[in-house]
Amino acid sequence: MPPPLPLDDAISEVLNVHLSAFVPGAVGALPNNSVQLVSVKGRRLGLGDRRGAETRLGVPVAALRGLHIDGVARIELWDISPNAVDSGMETVQANVMGASASLRSAGFLRLAVSDSGPAEHVPSLNAWRKATDLPFLYEYHGRDNDDAESFIVRIPIRSDLEETGSPTGTVDTVIDDMRRWDDDGAPSLIVRSTGGARKVRAKAILGIGFLPGGFTGGAVTLERGVAGAPGAPVVHGTLDAFLDAVGDGDAPQLQAQVSFPSVAAFLTALGPPGDPFDLGDWDSDAVNDIYIPHLRQFPRPITLRSGRDFLAIRHDAPAFAAPAVLYLRVDADHQRAG
pLDDT tens digits, 16-57: 999 999 999 999 999 999 999 999 998 877 655 666 655 555
Q: Angle at CA 99, nearest 5°, toward 94 and 104?
A: 135
Q: Which of 45-49, 187-191, 274-278 has the lowest mean pLDDT?
A: 45-49
| pLDDT tens for each residue of 75-123 | 999 999 999 999 999 999 999 999 999 999 999 999 999 988 899 999 9
Between 309 and 200, the more confident residue is 309
The average pLDDT across 6-17 equals 91
Using DSSP bridges, classify how beta strands 108-111 and 309-315 pair: parallel, antiparallel or unpaired.
unpaired
- DSSP code, position 54: E
Q: Give residue 44's pLDDT.
A: 74
What pLDDT, on the 0 to 100 scale, is given for residue 55?
59
Burial of 254 (C-beta count, 10 Å sphere; 0-12/13-18/19+): middle
**Span 327-335, average pLDDT:** 80
Beta pairing partners, 76:
34, 131
Cβ within 8 Å of residue 321, ≥6 positions away: 183, 215, 218
> Which whole number is the average pLDDT over 265-279?
91
Residues 6 or more apart whose Cβ sits within 8 Å of residue 316: 218, 219, 220, 221
CA dihedral of residues 217, 218, 219, 221 (deg, nearest 10) = -80
The mean pLDDT of 149-177, rounded to a whole number, is 43
CB 320 within 8 A of CB 181: yes
What is the per-residue pLDDT across 301-320, written as a single tens digit (0 to 9) for each? 999 988 889 999 999 999 99
Chain segment 119-157, per-residue pLDDT in tens:
999 999 999 999 999 999 999 987 654 444 555 444 333
Give which of 163, 159, 138 is closest to 18, Cα–Cα: 138
Predicted confidence at residue 2, as pLDDT, reads: 55
* CATH 3.10.20 corresponds to the domain 7-143: no
209-257 residue pLDDT tens = 999 988 999 999 999 999 989 999 999 999 999 999 999 998 999 999 9
Q: pTM value?
A: 0.56
Residue 161 — very low, low, confident or very high, per pLDDT cuts 50/70/90? very low
Torsion angle, alpha carbons of 219, 58, 311, 317, to 10? 30
User: Has residue 335 got a pLDDT over 70?
Assistant: no
d(CA 316, CA 12): 52
Residue range 279-307: average pLDDT? Answer: 89
- Least confident stretch, 98-102, 164-168, 232-236, 263-267: 164-168
Tell me what pLDDT residue 64 has: 72
**Alpha carbon distances (Å) from 34 to 103, 111, 142, 338:** 19, 18, 26, 73
- Cα separation, 9 vs 13, in Å, equals 6
Residue type, 251: A
Helix, strand, coil share (%) of the chain residues, nearest 5: 15, 45, 40
Q: Is residue 271's pLDDT more than 90?
A: yes
Cβ burial, residue 238 (10 Å; 0-12/13-18/19+) = exposed
Q: Which residues pair with 324 in a beta bridge?
A: none
Domain range summary for the chain, segments of one domain joined by +: 7-143, 178-336
Closest CA to 18 of 128, 131, 141, 119: 141
Q: Is 262 within 8 Å of 221 (Cβ atoms)?
A: no
